[in-house]
Amino acid sequence: GLVLLNNPPAGDWRAPPYPFGLVFVATALLVATHLVGYLLVGADAAVTGGHLNALVFSAVVSGVLWWYFRRQGALLDAANERALAAEAHRARYAERISHHQALHDTVLATLTAISGGGVDANTPEMRRRCAREAAYLRRLVEQTDDQGADSELLAALEESVRAAEALGLRVTARYHEPPRVPGDVALPFARAVTEALNNVRCHAGTGHAYLTVTGDSGRLVVTVVDRGRGFEPGSTGGGLGLTRSVHERMRGIGGHATVDSAPGEGVSVELRWPR
């Protein structure tokens, strides 16, 4: 791509003003020094005139080319920004449709069943289902308020949370302005989060996990914490499965995973990208 300094804002294709004064002074100095040189050596008038004419012509052509290329660069930058804005709009629209479908299949279906009297709203299972869907709505509101967030990343992480909730794990999730990450990073990162949540569900001896997503100096930082039984650091027992499912996934995308635990103190898994 063409990289220019001091590019005009999107939608303004006009090239920056040509520095006529500076160019005029520089050209005049060159003409004067050449003229003095030709006079000192007694050059023929035709030769002197031809050389000076070529010098002035070169300055004019350089100015025209400068203006043309700056104008074309400004047009290209404006077109790129419009394309990026259109792509961002399409991504937001796709995310909105995804949320609408999820709301239709979960919250709306639950409310319709309760209002129609088809289910007993006081059963433990229905209360748990309502709690899961209320948590989903809270996360959705938080994501909507965070206009700078990476929608692809948040959608992948939300899928991990909802999958864990569907298996009976309660997840308290908080999203705090995570940085944007490439598409080939978002999905493996979310899968590492999925495994960390599965680890809580299967091994922690607790039904509640805490997920925090934030940015730290341009890095994406996600922590999965539980207050379960924990384990002895360095132990290979317990069927935790963190080595392959979490550490290797993070290394594969240039990230890093840190696991901190102690018996009776729960587990904290911190995922960072880039490393």
Work out how many domains the chain is built from and give that number: 2
Q: Is residue 228 part of a domain?
A: yes
Domain boundary among 35, 56, 82: 82
| Cβ(216)–Cβ(271) below 8 Å | no
| Cβ(183)–Cβ(152) below 8 Å | yes
- Percent of the chain, pLDDT > 70? 79
For residue 263, say if its preceding peptide bond is cis, omega within 30 degrees of 0.
no
Give the tens place of pLDDT for each residue, 92-110: 676 667 667 667 666 777 7
Q: Is the pLDDT of residue 121 over 50?
A: yes
Structural domain containing residue 178: 147-273
Is the CA virtual torsion 225, 182, 177, 218 positive or negative?
positive
Q: Is residue 50 part of a domain?
A: yes
163 and 78 share one domain? no
78 and 155 share one domain? no
Q: Is residue 27 part of a domain?
A: yes
- CATH number of residue 252's parent domain: 3.30.565.10
Element (H, E) at 163: helix 151-166
Q: What is the pLDDT of residue 142?
A: 64
Domain boundary among 82, 112, 130: 82
266 and 152 share one domain? yes
Lowest mean pLDDT among 76-90, 183-197, 204-218, 247-261: 76-90
184 and 257 share one domain? yes
Q: Is residue 206 part of a domain?
A: yes
Give the tens place of pLDDT for each residue, 171-185: 998 888 888 888 788
Domain boundary among 82, 99, 126: 82
Q: Is the pLDDT of residue 224 over 80?
A: yes
Q: Is residue 93 part of a domain?
A: no
Q: What is the pLDDT of residue 20?
A: 65
260 and 157 share one domain? yes
Q: Is residue 236 part of a domain?
A: yes
| Cβ(243)–Cβ(203) below 8 Å | no
Q: Give every CB contact of residue 153 below 8 A, 6+ residues apart in sequence.
A: 178, 180, 181, 186, 189, 190, 220
155 and 250 share one domain? yes
Q: Is residue 3 part of a domain?
A: no
Q: What is the pLDDT of residue 35?
A: 76
Q: Is residue 56 part of a domain?
A: yes
75 and 155 share one domain? no
